[in-house]
Structure formats: structure tokens, C-alpha cells
Amino acid sequence: MTKNPILDELRSTREGLLAESGGTVTGLLDRLRADQADSKRPEYKPANRVRTAISDGPPHTT
């Protein structure tokens, strides 16, 4: 246990989810995908961005 109750709760939740999913990350991902599909909530799908030139990189910040 740490002195941070929020981190303790997050870690406990993570351990519980992993245990319920067979103890593997693959099992956890399968469970989360199934939960998402069952939720019927809309899924965010960003538009494909086509790069037009090599110099067309991320915006510059100043």
C-alpha cells in the first residue's frame, strides 16, 4: 500500500479486472472489447487523414 489512496484503488481495480479476465492482458482486452460491443454506445472513429507532402507534419507550436 502506498500513501496515495487513489493509486491504491486504481491498482486494486486493475488486479481485479485482470483476475476476472484470466490473468492475462489478452484476456482483459478481449473482455473490454466485448463489454464495449455490448454497451451499444457509439464508437469514436477519427477520419483518415491523408498526408499530402513530406513536410506536412504535426502543427508547430511556438
4-46 pLDDT, tens digit per residue, is 999 999 999 999 999 999 999 999 999 999 999 999 888 888 8
Q: Quick check: 52 pLDDT over 90? A: no
Task: Supply the pLDDT for residue 40.
Answer: 87
Task: Supply the pLDDT for residue 60.
Answer: 60
Q: Quick check: 54 pLDDT over 80? A: no
Task: Supply the pLDDT for residue 53.
Answer: 59
Q: Taking Cα atoms as reference points, which of 32, 33, 30 lies closest to residue 13?
A: 32
Q: What is the 3-state secondary structure (H, E, C) of the chain?
A: CCCCHHHHHHHHHHHHHHHHCCCCHHHHHHHHHHHHHHHCCCCCCCCCCCCCCCCCCCCCCC
The pTM assigned to this predicted structure is 0.54
